[in-house]
Amino acid sequence: MFTILITFLSAISISVIAAGYSIVGLSTLFAGAVVPIIAMGSALEVGKLVAASWLYNNWRNKLVPYTIKMYLTFAVVVLIFITSMGIFGFLSKAHLDQVQPVSSNNIKIELIDKQITQQQIIIDRSQKTLDQLDKALDKYIDMEYVTRGLKERKKQEEERTLLTTAINEASDKISNLTLKKSELALEQDKIEAEVGPIKYIAELIYGENAKDHFDKAVRWVIIVLIFVFDPLAVLLLIAANISLRSRKLVKEEEKTKVEKDYQKEATNAKVRAKRVRDREKIYKDILKKIGNGELKTKDYDKMKKLGLNPDEIRIKLNQIMEMGESGVIKK
């Protein structure tokens, strides 16, 4: 009984979880009718289990039309498919929700890289301009026009200040962008660590091309899960029904056996009682004949069949008669 109870509870538990996943998945597909989808999914899940159990218990019932059996079988198969489809949607959405931050982070990292490149271009251009200004001053110094060179440098101070400021601001922006990029990379590493098992499965299936077939590997894993999810619940429910029927048959056989043993014992008791009555009747008849001295050869034969010794009986009776005549026995 314990095994039957565990089987039944397992079937109900798996079915409830599968129904929950399926309803969530179907609600995602039909987001505009969440409450009706929940009601419909719950009712269909209960109907599926009831139909599967009823089919097993009434499959050999000749009163049930063949068309009803076929329709209910078809309905159970279709409902299993619908539940599996809902589970597929639920698990696919869960996977997408998990890997979506990775795609988002990749886009952000690409944008940051572009921004860093742009700021680096600003730094390179500003630094190149500064270098050109320095080269111009170096020419004045080489030509020994120091005073003129100093005047030119004084004219360049504003431009140099702007260029230096641009370089500093670009450097600060690059530092901030690099910090953001590091944070995004760290977050991405954490997410990739969470989906690591799927990554290894993809590598197991597709080898070196795993990166290009990551989503396909996830789909295969989901398909394997749905093939052993809801069908397992239905089959466990049928297995529980089989166990219950077997237990019922065993009890009926035991009850029948007890009744047969009782009837047999009652019959034997009647036979024994009849034998006792027949013996009593024969004993009385023989004793009466002995008393009247009417014993015949056939009576001796009856006594021998009953295990009685006629000579011993005669001796005992003579002794009783002698004791009665001698006055030992008194009335």
Domain residue spans in the chain? 260-325
Half-sphere CA count of 39, side-chain side, radius 13 A: 4
**331 residues of the chain, pLDDT tens digit each:** 777 788 778 878 888 888 887 887 877 777 777 788 888 888 888 888 888 888 888 888 888 888 888 998 899 888 888 888 888 888 877 777 766 666 677 777 788 888 888 888 888 887 787 777 666 666 655 555 555 555 655 666 676 677 788 888 888 888 888 888 887 777 777 766 666 666 666 677 666 665 666 677 777 878 888 888 888 888 888 888 888 888 787 788 888 888 888 888 888 888 878 777 777 777 677 666 665 666 666 666 666 666 666 666 666 666 666 665 555 444 4
Give CA angle at 92 (88, 96), nearest 5°. 175
Q: What is the DSSP letter of 329?
A: S
Contacts of 303 (CB under 8 A, 6+ apart): 286, 309, 310, 313
**Cα distance between residue 241 and residue 79, in whole Å:** 20
pTM: 0.53
Q: What would the two tokens of residue 42 be? A: 């719950």
In tens, the pLDDT along 50-109 reads: 888 888 888 888 888 888 889 988 998 888 888 888 888 888 777 777 666 666 777 777
